[in-house]
Amino acid sequence: MAQPRSQTVAVPERGSLVTDLTDTLTAAQRATLEGKLTDFEARQGPQLAVLLVPTTGSDSIEQYATRVFDRWKLGSAEADDGLLLLVALKDRRMRIEVGQGLEGRVPDIAAGRIIDQKMTPRFRQQDYAGGIDAAVDALLERLDNRTVPGSLPGDAMPLPLGDDTSAVVESTPPEAGSRITLFGWTLLAGLIGAVAAACVRWRGARLFTLGLAVVVALLILAARFFGLNQLLIGLAALLGISFALLLVGVTLYGMRRAWNDSLAGFCFRLAVVAGITGYTAYETDGEPIPIALAAGFSLLFAFMPGTHRGDGESDDGDSSSSSSSSSSSSSGSSGSSSSSSGGSSSGGGASGSW
């Protein structure tokens, strides 16, 4: 019997991965869903549970889903890889609640699309079992196509061998290294000769030639022992690090100039950088790469040499545009408490109705 909306509905005990308090699913449909979810959990790791209730009572479906997630401890405490598919039949509402560890694999927009495309059309035709089954298949497909906690990095799908079951797939060992061709040696000799000729006319080039010879020798050894591809990757990494150090140097120089010009202007620019970085951290849930990029580029543009000359006039002009970047960083989410025996929900997911 459905409880009135003014009352708080208790969270039921979880006896299996499929709990139906509305008697909507038949025994065969429940068994099929449970087998599918149990098999996926054993193979991949994430735990997906389905709950059908008549109503969520005085709670919104989002609040009730958080309570269920916190009570059932879906997923593991280390990976937070739990999922909850909740249906409130009398309320005509549904919700996909995503654990913190799976938010990158089942983002809110993907959960909302699954509700809109898989569940809502079938629910409107009173095909509740079909909508739930289609949503479960879509969620498992998203998780099955990516590496999840608990799986080995080297796991791969088996190769189809056709009708010939005796076929053997042999792995080709990687080449130990790329050999330098005759053209490469000729080009290298020409470069060395050109540098030697320059040293005759320019005394200062001797030191440069010595350094260049060391670099060339290191490049030859690297290409010989590690291969050309690894050498190119190393050079790209070296260029990237050099460029990053250049940006850091320019930024530090600009910060020093700003400090000498105006202490108030320096503090204002630093506050703008802190606001942008804090806002980025809030929007990306603490992802380190976006935070580092936001901090680096905001520092670079805020303290770019040449942008802080004079009094605080330009600083005052920038204040109106910077206030909006830090205003929303103070709001926080009321996530559920974590436990050592299961995962927790951060409030991510999507809701819908039919």
Tell me the pLDDT tens digit for each residue of 318-351: 443 333 333 333 333 333 333 445 666 655 777 8
Largest Cα–Cα separation, the chain: 99
Tell me the pLDDT tens digit for each residue of 158-177: 444 444 444 334 444 444 44
Give the start-to-end residue ranges of the domains of the chain: 18-145, 231-303
- In angstroms, the Cα distances linking 337 to 46, 108, 204, 342, 345 are 19, 21, 67, 11, 8
- Cα–Cα distance measured from residue 179 to residue 181, given in angstroms and rounded to the nearest whole number: 6
Tell me the pLDDT tens digit for each residue of 91-123: 999 999 998 888 888 999 999 999 999 999 999
Per-residue pLDDT at 196 exceeds 80: no
- Cα–Cα distance measured from residue 272 to residue 318, given in angstroms and rounded to the nearest whole number: 9
Most confident of 149-153, 185-189, 190-194, 285-289: 285-289
* Stated pTM of the model: 0.45
Domain 18-145: give its CATH code.
3.10.310.50
Residue 98 has a pLDDT of 92
More confident residue, 344 or 289: 289
The distance in angstroms from the start CA to the end CA of the chain is 21
